[in-house]
Amino acid sequence: MSPADTHSADAGTSDAAQKPSRRRFLQSAAAAAAVSAAPLAHAQQQAAATPAIAPPPAAVPMLPVRLNINGHPYELQVEARTTLLDALREYAGLTGTKKGCDRGQCGACTVIVSGRRINACLTLAVMHEGESVTTVEGLAPNGDALAPIQQAFIEKDAFQCGYCTPGQLCSATALIAEYRAGDASAVTADVRFRPAQLSDDEIRERMSGNICRCGAYPNIVAAVKAVASGNA
Ligand code: FES
Ligand code: FES
């Protein structure tokens, strides 16, 4: 075999090796183009199927609700979905009641409605037509004088940041009334008898719906105990 033949044979082998590579390259390029074009085609189909911009929803009708808040009559116009908490803060302008979790977990929104403490974030304002609501702004009997429980919180250093304090004060006020009315709690040893004095366990149990992230619990218990026992 001459050198020329050898060269020719090498060249033939090289061509044979390269042809499949070019074919694979062209096949790969075509496949990539198809893959990248698919989302575009899908998006174009979706765009064609998207309806025209929906018209704005009709205005939500407002409902009147009459409340007696801290001894004053209020007539508020609220949406049916408005919570008592939002009605107090946003409609009546009484921002002493705090919004912590807005889902019944922290007790910051505790107010007293017709003598019972409730989480204002868990109830609708329109459900309390004609009822009496006491918020932290209404705990003090008059003027600048503080309620005994407010004074006790100061004396016992029962708060730090103060965010939970309005709810703690309302809850403690109702707790003392419940205790004096003879209501038992989950830790009352004998439900036939009212405990002679509120124990720390009783206070902790009865205040367990009010969370304090500053951890002022020992001093809160001390303040409630002082008022419940008449020592404040
Ligand atoms: S804001 Fe109502 S329980 Fe937390
Ligand atoms: S004093 Fe800060 S959360 Fe209770």
CATH number, domain containing residue 190:
1.10.150.120
Q: Do residues 156 and 229 make contact, with C-beta atoms less than 8 angstroms apart? A: no
Domain that holds residue 108: 62-138
Locus of tokens 């708060």: 159
Residue 4: inside a domain, yes or no?
no
Residue 74 lies in a domain: yes
Ligand 2 neighbour 217 (Cβ under 6 A): no
Residue 32 pLDDT exceeds 80: no
Specify whether 164 is located in the same domain as 213.
yes
pLDDT at 96 over 80: yes
**pLDDT for 208 beyond 50:** yes
Q: What is the pLDDT of residues 65-74, one digit of tens each?
A: 999 999 999 9
- The CA 164 to ligand 2 mean position distance, Å, reads 5
Q: Which atom of ligand 1 is nearest to the CA of 122?
A: 2
Structural domain count of the chain: 2
DSSP-assigned states of every residue in 73-99: EEEEEEETT-BHHHIIIIIS--TTS--
Of 138, 165, 192, which residue constitutes the final position of a domain?
Answer: 138
User: What is residue 30's predicted lDDT score, i.e. its pLDDT?
Assistant: 61
> What is the per-residue pLDDT for 142?
79
Tokens coding 2: 């001459």
Q: What is the pLDDT of residues 123-175, one digit of tens each?
A: 999 999 999 999 999 999 876 799 999 999 999 999 999 999 999 999 999 99
For residue 49, pLDDT beyond 90: no
- Closest-lying ligand 1 atom to the alpha carbon of residue 110: 2
Q: Both tokens of residue 206?
A: 């009865």
Do 118 and 155 share a domain, yes or no? Answer: no
User: 3 CA distance to ligand 1 centroid (A)?
Assistant: 95
Helix (DSSP H) and strand (DSSP E) numbers for the chain:
6, 5
pTM of the model: 0.75
